[in-house]
Amino acid sequence: MSPTKRAGSTKVAATKTATRKNPPTKKLVSKPKPTPKKPTPKKPAPKKPTPKKPAPRKPAPRKPAPKKPTPKKQVLKPTPAPKPAAAPRPKAERAVAVPKTGVIPPAAGASPYDIPYAGAPLGAHVSTSGGIAAAPPRAVDIGATAMQVFTKQASQWKERMPTAAEVQAFRAALAATGVGFVNAHDSYLINLASPNPALRAKSIGSFEFEMRRSNALGLDAVVSHPGNFMDDRASGIARNADAIIEVLERVAGPTRLLMELTAGQGTVIGSSFEEMADLLARLPAALQARVGVCLDTAHVFAAGYDLANDFDGVMTRFGDVLGFHRLGLLHLNDSKAPLASRKDRHELIGLGSIGEWAFRRIMTDQRFADIPKVLETPKGDDMITNDRRMLRKLRGFAAGR
Ligand SMILES: [Zn+2]
Ligand SMILES: [Zn+2]
């Protein structure tokens, strides 16, 4: 669950939480070992600025270099992540990159579009206030080429399908942008692992609606949080898997299901790579290709995977246990909460307990090159400024800045 404030959705913090204490949980991997002085991770060789095709439209007038956002407060970190040496910025890289198909990026303020970026779709959660067709232009406003949306009020059970006209308006709005990946995030109320038959049935109904709606809208994926087991972990995993099977067997379509790794709060399932692998292994072979994993950096860090000090160890573990072929989406969030705190608290990139180094790694590591990436960081006072700044930062990381 994201604590991020979003327009049109009321935050329901941890309503799904357990009523009883955690049973002894499985030991998590990637315990913070007393790390020996780490050799500075090798940076990939800076990409040669590839000569861009002549832009079809006039590049926006060059703006004065935007001020570096000053971190409001310094969050305490276990060990400062090594800072890569700031490479001098090659002039040629300053060419303006605009979305493939169109909509001119906003002129005011620092725009991520002035940093060239040729990687997989990169964006943020955007509001659908005013209708889902209003979302793609918002993605353009912040400099996004990927976006996550709620296809309904995430804090309510009420369901509806989009009308044909709404679907058409959404597809048209999307086609007018360079947004190349869209995913829905399912409702916070859903608990497919619940031992309560009434709540589980309601959850299955809502989850099925989400899959139908997202397929109708032609979305690439639905991100779903594994549920809370409440009574018994193994039974909860089985109930969650059975619910997924039930719904996917009823709803066909191109939209993939991505199960999100969780922070491990209360009795929630899926905070260890092993447990997620266990959940997915229960799905029949025929459904495997339709299901993948969403890795949320804040969640896995809170679950005990030390992205700040053992990035390579964590990712090797992920590859071994779940496999990169299953990785369908990255949620890029720094964490307000410390390592292994099991608290789901998102923070702006570089300002939390993870620190910016892990995000630099993600933005330059070939294993993530083709994986869409979406921010769920705090929006702040408006829906544009922070996201634009964060996306600019990430594009800068990708460019070795
Ligand atoms: Zn979260
Ligand atoms: Zn997330």
- What pLDDT band is residue 10 in, cutting at 50, 70 and 90? very low
- Contact call for residues 280 and 291 (beta carbons, < 8 A): yes
Spell out the residues 6+ positions from residue 363 whose beta carbon is closer than 8 angstroms to its own.
119, 394, 397, 398
Distance 54 CA to ligand 2 centre (A): 37
Note the pLDDT tens digit of each residue in 358-376: 999 999 999 999 999 999 9
Q: Higher-confidence residue: 18 or 286?
A: 286
Which residues are 375's β-sheet partners? 124, 332
Q: Is residue 350 predicted with pLDDT exceeding 90?
A: yes
Please indicate, yes or no, if residue 336 is contained in any of the structural domains. Answer: yes
Query: Whole domain around residue 128: which residue ranges?
Result: 120-398
Please indicate, yes or no, if residue 373 is contained in any of the structural domains. Answer: yes
Q: Is residue 396 predicted with pLDDT exceeding 70?
A: yes
Distance 360 CA to ligand 2 centre (A): 19
Q: Higher-confidence residue: 171 or 76?
A: 171
Distance 376 CA to ligand 2 centre (A): 6
**pLDDT given at position 109:** 54
Q: Higher-confidence residue: 239 or 401?
A: 239
Distance 345 CA to ligand 1 centre (A): 6
Which contiguous run of DSSP H or E holds residue 183? Answer: strand 181-185
Please indicate, yes or no, if residue 113 is contained in any of the structural domains. Answer: no
What φ, ψ does residue 290 adopt, rounded to 5°?
-90, 0
**What's this model's pTM, rounded to 2 decimal places?**
0.75
Distance 185 CA to ligand 2 centre (A): 9
Please indicate, yes or no, if residue 360 is contained in any of the structural domains. Answer: yes
Rg of the chain over all Cα atoms, to the nearest angstrom: 21
**pLDDT given at position 76:** 45
Distance 261 CA to ligand 1 centre (A): 9
Q: What is the CATH number of the domain that holds 320?
A: 3.20.20.150
- Contact call for residues 28 and 304 (beta carbons, < 8 A): yes
Give me the count of residues in the chain: 401
- What pLDDT band is residue 114 in, cutting at 50, 70 and 90? confident
- What pLDDT band is residue 81 in, cutting at 50, 70 and 90? very low
- Contact call for residues 327 and 292 (beta carbons, < 8 A): yes
- What pLDDT band is residue 111 in, cutting at 50, 70 and 90? confident
Count up the domains in the chain and report the number. 1
- What pLDDT band is residue 183 in, cutting at 50, 70 and 90? very high
- Alpha helix positions (H), 129-253: 135-142, 164-175, 197-216, 233-250
What φ, ψ does residue 185 adopt, rounded to 5°?
-115, 130
Residue 244 is classified by DSSP as H
**pLDDT given at position 93:** 37
Distance 2 CA to ligand 2 centre (A): 6
* Separation CA 203–CA 186 (nearest Å): 10
Distance 299 CA to ligand 1 centre (A): 6
The pLDDT mean for the chain works out to 82
Distance 49 CA to ligand 2 centre (A): 32
> Residues within 5 Å of ion ligand 1 by Cβ?
2, 344
> Residues within 5 Å of ion ligand 2 by Cβ?
296, 331
Distance 368 CA to ligand 1 centre (A): 20
Distance 260 CA to ligand 2 centre (A): 7
Please indicate, yes or no, if residue 92 is contained in any of the structural domains. Answer: no
- Nearest ligand to the CA atom of 268: 1
Note the pLDDT tens digit of each residue in 116-141: 899 999 999 999 999 999 999 999 99
User: N- to C-terminal Cα distance for the chain?
Assistant: 31
Please indicate, yes or no, if residue 346 is contained in any of the structural domains. Answer: yes
- Contact call for residues 247 and 204 (beta carbons, < 8 A): yes
Pull the structure tokens for residue 114. Answer: 């002035």
Q: Is residue 254 predicted with pLDDT exceeding 80?
A: yes
Residue range 20-36: average pLDDT? Answer: 42
Please indicate, yes or no, if residue 56 is contained in any of the structural domains. Answer: no
Give the CA angle between residues 193, 198, 203 to the nearest 5°: 50
Pull the structure tokens for residue 120. Answer: 């997989």
Residue range 63-85: average pLDDT? Answer: 45
Distance 268 CA to ligand 1 centre (A): 12
Residue range 92-106: average pLDDT? Answer: 45
Please indicate, yes or no, if residue 344 is contained in any of the structural domains. Answer: yes
- Contact call for residues 366 and 374 (beta carbons, < 8 A): no
**pLDDT given at position 106:** 53
